[in-house]
Amino acid sequence: MPFGGPDGGDGGSGGSVWLVADSSVVSLLAFRDYPHRIADSGTHGKGAKKHGKSAPDLLVKVPEGTVVKDHETGEVLVDLVNHGDRWLAAQGGEGGKGNTKFFSNKRRAPAFAEQGEICEDKWFRLELKLLADVALVGFPSAGKSTLISTVSNATPKIADYHFTTLTPNLGVVRLDGDSEFVMADLPGLIEGASEGKGMGHQFLRHIERARVLVYLLDLAAVDALSPKAQFDALQQELGSYNPDLLERPVLVVGSKADVLSAADWGKDCPKLDLEISSVDRTNTKELSWKLFELVQHERSLEPERTDYIVHRPAAEGVEVIRDFDGAWRVIGRPAERAVAISDLTDVIALDYVQDKLKKLGVEKALKRAGVREGEEVRIASFAFEYHHDL
């Protein structure tokens, strides 16, 4: 302001990007559609000493069990294990100080102000260890693999002989942006499975971890066990493996309804929650939504953790290294920041930056590293010649 002195307010800081483990998110699929996550910028400072507004941090939800790795080296940066665990992935830029802040007896009319800091911009690789929310249990050839291939992204082997599935298949059932859960297709169970018969017993532990169970009963099994006999046998096997499994929320579902229905079996079919056909997709969407609601309910009963872990990078100091061509390079966020936010074409500003670098210990670090008169020193995108005490 002419005659009035400096009156520029500070700029607001930009938001940081955090990754936060959240039990309602089960997959990383959203990152395939939308890999860039950008926190908002702060707003500019204005005259009349008005400060700009800082932007809020952007909290990006990831599933529990997400491992964050360096995109290039594959180094594990953080393991977000439990709901609420969070990690500072990229720090927002700090707002620049308005020229009001540079007013002093020495500098009565500072014509310069700091630039806002350039924010961090990084790529990471996210990986996830899946745990099933829903487990499909049923006799061999009941149609478990066909069902999971219809409602999820899993592509298991399907065939008309028993024990086609030898190891569990996991699939993500995605109903819309925020509604998703993990389904496990397990090898078929038979009578005696809990004593080790057939394939399924090795996988009963997967069932133990699932929040919700589906008993898939083959309605087309004309020359095998009736749906009722299948149901009884499944309950028997699960109960003798672990009685708690009988308390688990469960949907009793008849499969292959395009061939035969519950009505065709009369008393030989237990009461079903749903009849489905994976072939003509009768009720498969309905089943997914019902399962999602049960899973959501179970998730809501789980106690909210309050002891989550916050991971943030350690404060950085100043380090001096030799650049690729032999020049010196100062690295460390505070020093890089001091240079990046200042208008180095303004002599008074330059003076201010030099002061700041000295305070940060840059000069000391350069001396310690052995920099000699006239050698080139770089900080971020700025380069200068080193002269002792200048």
Ligand X SMILES: Nc1nc2c(ncn2[C@@H]2O[C@H](COP(=O)(O)OP(=O)(O)OP(=O)(O)O)[C@@H](O)[C@H]2O)c(=O)[nH]1
> Is there a contact between 338 and 94 (Cβ–Cβ < 8 Å)?
no
Binding flag, residue 13, ligand X (CB under 6 A): no
Which residues, numbered 38-97, are part of the site for ligand X (CB under 6 A)?
Answer: none
Cα diameter, the chain: 100
The amino acid present at 351, given as its one-letter code, is D
And the tokens for 94?
């700090």
Return the one option of Mg ion, ligand X, none that residue 142 interacts with (CB less than 5 to 8 A, by type). ligand X
- Taking CB under 6 A as the binding criterion, the range among 23-31, 35-43, 139-147, 328-336 that sits at the site for ligand X is 139-147
| Residue 198 touching ligand X (CB under 6 A) | no
Listed ranges 48-56, 153-161, 225-233, 308-316: which one lies at the site for ligand X (CB under 6 A): 153-161
DSSP string, 127-166: EE----SEEEEESTTSSHHHHHHHHSS------SSTT---
Determine if 277 is a binding residue for ligand X (CB under 6 A): yes
Could you tell me the smallest distance in angstroms from the CB atom of residue 34 to Mg ion?
33
The 168-197 site mask, x for binding ligand X (CB under 6 A), equals -------------------xx---------
What SS3 class is residue 210? coil
Nearer to ligand X, 220 or 294 (CB): 220
Report how many residues bind ligand X under the rule CB under 6 A: 24
- Given a contact cutoff of 8 angstroms between Cβ atoms, the answer to whether 203 and 170 are in contact is no
Q: Choosing among Mg ion, ligand X, none, which partner's interface includes residue 26 (Cβ < 5 to 8 Å by kind)?
A: none
C-alpha radius of gyration, the chain, whole number: 31
Torsion of CA 206, 209, 213, 214, to 10 degrees: -30
Indicate the pairing of strand 134-138 with strand 212-218.
Answer: parallel
Q: For ligand X, which stretch binds (CB under 6 A), given 49-57, 110-118, 161-169, 331-339? A: 161-169
The nearest distance, CB 199 to ligand X, in angstroms, is 8
109: its two tokens = 């009319």
230 interacts with ligand X by CB under 6 A: no
Q: Using the rule CB under 6 A, is 258 a contact of ligand X?
A: yes
User: Which residue in the block uniquely carries the two structure tokens 């400096």?
Assistant: 6
Our CB check for Mg ion shows the closer of 164 and 296 to be: 164
Q: Taking CB positions, which residue lies at the least distance from ligand X?
A: 188
Closest CA to 151 of 21, 287, 345: 287
Contacts (Cβ under 8 Å, ≥6 apart) of 41: 12, 14, 15, 55, 93, 116
Which of 23, 43, 115, 164 forms a contact with Mg ion (CB under 5 A)?
164
Could you list the residues that contact Mg ion (CB under 5 A)?
A: 145, 164-165
Could you list the residues that contact ligand X (CB under 6 A)?
A: 138, 140-146, 158-160, 162-165, 187-188, 255-256, 258-259, 277-279
